[in-house]
Every structure is written in structure tokens, then in C-alpha cells.
Amino acid sequence: MKRNIVPTQNERQFGADEFIVTKTDLKGRITYANRVFMRMADYSESELLGVQHNIVRHPDMPRGAFKHLWDTIQTGREWFGFVKNMSSNGDYYWVFANVTPDYENGRVVGYFSVRRQAPRAAIDFFVPIYAEMLRIEQKVGPAQACDASLAWLSQRLTTQGLSYERLVLDLFHQSR
């Protein structure tokens, strides 16, 4: 069960040579968490195993971003994105995430995620996008939130001739 955590304005960062690694089952429950994840999220292994990965979801993240992630990985494709997470004390940290299906004997048994520290330029780019997606979600209500914010994002990317994946990968590589 997710705790009622009050977000702080304190940003945490991890080293450029460090990776956050987690594995989940098909429902998003954590089955493995490395020490960097435990340190950044400020949870022990026993507090993480078996709980929903959204235990680290920051309220600044629009639901539509996670719908995009789930829609992508459930088709067997990998997903890349920038995510603002929240630690157990309310501090936040940004990651560049790569989530891939985890196969065993030819079938998907869960998901594997590797995250790096997000580049500042990419964070600065996505903060207003996520804020607008959140505004849209709050305006239309929970039933239409994900679809409405994703439609807005998709329309914005289309007018710029970009796909979400291309935008994210370009921002990551340009900022390195």
C-alpha cells in the first residue's frame, strides 16, 4: 500500500556511473530492486518486494505518461522515458528509464527496468509538458484523464513531426 507522503522540494541525484534496476511481475509488483534503487527511493528491500512499482510515483507525473508506458510494454516493445519519482520522505529524483518485457521460455513473465540519471536539459524540457498533461487530466476527470493527456501529447508531437520515442532518445543523447 502506498503511503501518504508529502512531496518536498529537495532533489536527489545519483551518479552518472550508477544504474537503478528493478524487475516486476506482469502486474507491476516489484520482484527485484538493486541497492541504488533502494537508496534513492529510501525503502528497504522488504518494503519494496511484492509492492506496486508506483510506490515511487511522484504526484507531478501525469497518469497518461504511465498509460503510454504500459500500452507500449504490453505489446512486447521497450519503452524509454523521463520520469520524476518520489522517495519515502518526499524528496524527488528524475530518471531516464528503459523498460523492457522480461521473457522466459518465449513468454513475457514481467518487466525489467534500467534507469540512469536524467539530463538536466531533458528534465527542463519535460517539466512544462507534464504540468500541462496534469492540468488536462484534472480538467477532464479520472475517467478520461489518461486518454485526454495522451491525445494532447500526441497532437503536439505530430505537429513537430516527432514520435515520443524519438523525442526522448534525442533529448537523452543531446544532453550527454
Q: DSSP secondary structure string, 63-120?
A: HHHHHHHHHHHTTT--EEEEEEEE-TTS-EEEEEEEEEEEEETTEEEEEEEEEEEPPH
User: CA 99 to CA 143: how far, in whole Å?
Assistant: 26
Residue-level pLDDT at 143: 94
User: CA 39 to CA 58: how far, in whole Å?
Assistant: 16
Helix (H) or strand (E) holding 33: strand 30-33
Residue-level pLDDT at 168: 94
pLDDT at 36 over 90: yes
Residue-level pLDDT at 3: 66
**Which CATH class for the 20-174 domain?**
alpha beta
pLDDT at 2 over 70: no
pLDDT at 172 over 90: yes
Q: DSSP secondary structure string, 6-28?
A: ---SPBP---TT--EEEEE-TTS
| From 47-56, 131-140, 164-173, the region with the lowest mean pLDDT | 164-173
Residue-level pLDDT at 93: 98
pLDDT at 1 over 80: no
- Tell me, yes or no, if the pTM score tops 0.85: yes
Q: Which three cell numbers stand for residue 99?
A: 523498460
Cβ 82 vs Cβ 123: under 8 Å? yes
| pLDDT digits 0-9 by tens, 9-33 | 999 999 999 999 999 999 999 999 9
Residue-level pLDDT at 4: 84
Neighbours of 59 (CB within 10 A): 12
| pLDDT digits 0-9 by tens, 62-109 | 999 999 999 999 999 999 999 999 999 999 999 999 999 999 999 999
User: CA 151 to CA 49: how far, in whole Å?
Assistant: 34
Residue-level pLDDT at 174: 87
Mean pLDDT in residue range 37-44: 98
The residues spanned by each domain of the chain are: 20-174
Residue in this structure with the C-alpha cell 523498460, named with its chain if needed: 99
Residue in this structure with the C-alpha cell 510515483, named with its chain if needed: 57
| pLDDT digits 0-9 by tens, 101-155 | 999 999 999 999 999 999 999 999 999 999 999 999 999 999 999 999 999 999 9
